[in-house]
A and B are shown apart, each in its own frame.
Chain A
Amino acid sequence: MEDWRKNKLVFWILYLPPTAWLVLFFTIPLAIVWVYSFGERGPLGQTEIAISFANYIRSMEWTNLYIILKSIWIATVTTAICLLIGFPLAMGIAFASARYRNVLLLLVILPFWTNLLVRTYAWIAILRTNGHVNWFLEWVHGLLAGVFGLLGMPDVLGTFEPLQLLYNQKAVIIGLVYVNLPFVVLPLYATLEKLDKSFLEASLDLGAGQWRTLFSVTAPLAWPGIVTAAMLCFILSLGTYLTPDLLGGPDSVMIGNLIAQQFGPSRDWPFGSALSFLLMYVTFILLWIRAFAARGEKGKLH
């Protein structure tokens, strides 16, 4: 049979619309932003095309660099926590009996069915001063105070002070972990599910315990999946805007917020463009490292 890819007409009919779409709505706008990033801000906030690295240099000034570094830090911590929670979760799903596997997977992607904004507001309801967590803590506190009262020591615990859980870096990390967990669980699950279980059985058979098997066999064999999951989570967290905007405070402004500020109130599009592209560069470098690592892995395999 004729290979349909060799048929010029079919090829163009199939490929032209998506290509045109991508070029029109992705490549061209991106190119414009890229050109802007070398531009200058006019006195009225308009963008003037130029060839200047001032915006990039400015992003390396301490106040901006600090935000970038903190974003990297928050993304790193988020990724680490996501992996710590996501790996056992993915393992549990992958090794569950086939009957429950799909239901469990469904539960993981269920949050996607609601809008991110709604889900983030839900976290505000949970974490705020008179939110669910503090309500629960207060209830426990009251209970304990009652017990101590019965024991004749009514004032041991003092009055209940609600925890400040919202509008700080911790809240941002909690929110990011929550949002990105499915992106970690799914690639990990895909890798672990494909893993030949006899490797794990062989390890047990040879005298290794469950933990030793996890670290010496399961994790190394799932390494490509772990890298993919980590990259995905890191990139998504690094560029996030909504979560720090809603859950964060002054100590947790991230690049996303800084960029939004440039395109919004500050009306400094060239600087915003430069910051955006800085994010892109980081993403590209990470993807390139990953591709390089994958190639090395393949080279070792063949």
Chain B
Amino acid sequence: MVQTRKVKAFGPDVGTDRRKPIIEIRNVVKAFGAGVRAVDDVSLDIGEGEFFALLGPSGCGKTTLLRMLAGFEVPTSGDIMIAGERMEGVNPNRRPVNMVFQSYAVFPHMNVERNVGYGLRVTGVAEAEIKTRVAEALSLVKLGEFGKRMPNQLSGGQRQRVALARALVKHPKVLLLDEPLSALDAKLREAMQLELVRLQKTVGITFVIVTHDQDEALSMANRIAVMEKGKVRQVAPPADLYEFPNSRFVADFIGKMNLFEGRVSGVQNGNLQIDIKGLDRVAVPFTGSASGNIAIAIRPEKVKLGQTDPGGDNVRLRGRVTELAYYGNESHVYLENQTGMPISVNLKNATRTTLPSISIGDELWMSWAPTDTLVLTE
């Protein structure tokens, strides 16, 4: 396991999935007016049965991409195929996908049962079948008792589950979810994350979820596409995305990252030699080609703190503690080296003690293994 990870580290990760694709997005562009390209030349394959997340900062085009899959927006150019069929000119009501809206859009004038049955009723399914399928869908989302309630008599979480049941009852090939958990409070959100993963496993339908919450994407999805300004920057499984981001943007957007800008000065024994201001020359294993300005990066939890120089081939630097933040399970230490470069380090609070072993103003050594160092050319 560790071995394959290491190998991946040195080769570019294209994030392929060997499953049969159910959604194929080919060079899709969506322009609003002249200047704005909400989605800019996106190509993606989403496999059957995947739990796929579209992740990115606000305004990066996630919703627009999802709405093009649902059929509410028409691509300016490019192709979308769902289940092997081209979706050009196919109206939303004829697509084999269903959507859970950010606002849930549970019809306020219908009770829960009629909401869930709506999609079957409008397509002429027999009443008897509607009844059994609605009951099935409601028990799937654990709302069996709530069939006769009106939406305004439900909590936010329950309303959201009605929206889920209403989409799932249609047995779509793909379920699209636009920030389905953003309106819920933190505790409920975590519960619903687990619930959604359980549901997806049960029904086996492909889920495509939009979120700007990286924790949500990392914990739920089996693959994540990170978007920035309409472009997909990286597609990879959560762990790869976290450990092997392919660009400064992804590295910085997923989790916390210490970034050091530097210049390549040469290659020695398969190790890239990089000059970084404020650090000694750093040598890190790297197989790609790199020259000129690049960055190296290290996750805060991979940095060790110590009173003495750890020596060896560790990457190391000295700094002074400027800030301490306690989070219960871990503590975040913020340091600064001589040149004023900020570095953050996360320490697990693995033993039960309230005595701070580190205090502000301490001069400490930071070090990490060269193999934990990321080289970012983009």
A residues adjacent to B (C-beta < 8 A): 196, 198-199, 201-209, 212, 216-217, 220-221, 223, 300-302
Contacts and interface: CB of A to CB of B under 8 A. Distances in A.
Interface in B97-121: 97-99, 101-103, 105, 107-109, 118-119
Contacts of B93: 204-209
B107 A199 contact: yes
Given A204-B93, A206-B170, A207-B93, A212 B107 contact: no
8 contacts: A201-B72, A201-B99, A202-B107, A203-B122, A204-B91, A208-B119, A212-B122, A217-B107
Interface in B117-166: 118-119, 122-123, 150, 152, 166
Interface in B189-237: none
B92 A300 contact: no
Contacts of B70: 201, 205
Secondary structure class of chain A's binding surface, majority of residues: helix
**B interface bracket (residues with beta carbon within 8 Å of A):** 20 to 34
A205 B96 CA distance: 10
| 5 nearest A-B pairs in the assembled complex, by CB-CB distance | A206-B119, A202-B105, A208-B122, A198-B105, A204-B92
A205 B99 contact: yes
Nearest to B125: A207
Contact of A207 (B72, B101, B109, B119): B119
Contacts of A302: 152
Contact of B109 (A196, A204, A212, A220): A220
B105 A199 contact: yes
Contacts of A220: 109
Contact of A205 (B92, B102, B107): B92
A301 B123 CA distance: 29
Contacts of A221: 107-109
Interface in B58-115: 70, 72, 91-94, 97-99, 101-103, 105, 107-109
B71 to A, nearest CB: 8
Contacts of B109: 220-221, 223
Contacts of A201: 70, 72, 92, 99, 101, 105
Contacts of B167: 205-206
A202 B164 CA distance: 12
A204 B103 CA distance: 16
B107 A207 contact: no
Contacts of B101: 198, 201-202
Contacts of B152: 300-302
A223 to B, nearest CB: 8
B123 A207 contact: yes
Contacts of B98: 205-206
Contacts of B108: 221, 301
B72 A216 contact: no
A206 B122 contact: yes
B172 to A, nearest CB: 9
A42 B122 CA distance: 67
Contacts of B102: 198
A206 B150 contact: no
Contacts of A208: 93, 118-119, 122
Contacts of B118: 203, 206, 208, 216
A221 B91 CA distance: 23
Contacts of B103: 196, 198
Nearest to A196: B103
Given A201-B99, A206-B119, A216-B118, 5 more contacts: A198-B101, A203-B122, A205-B72, A207-B170, A301-B152
Nearest to A206: B119
A220 B114 CA distance: 14
Contacts of B107: 199, 202-203, 217, 221
B224 to A, nearest CB: 24
A195 to B, nearest CB: 11
Contacts of A198: 101-103, 105
Contacts of A216: 118, 122
Contacts of B166: 202, 206
Contacts of B94: 207
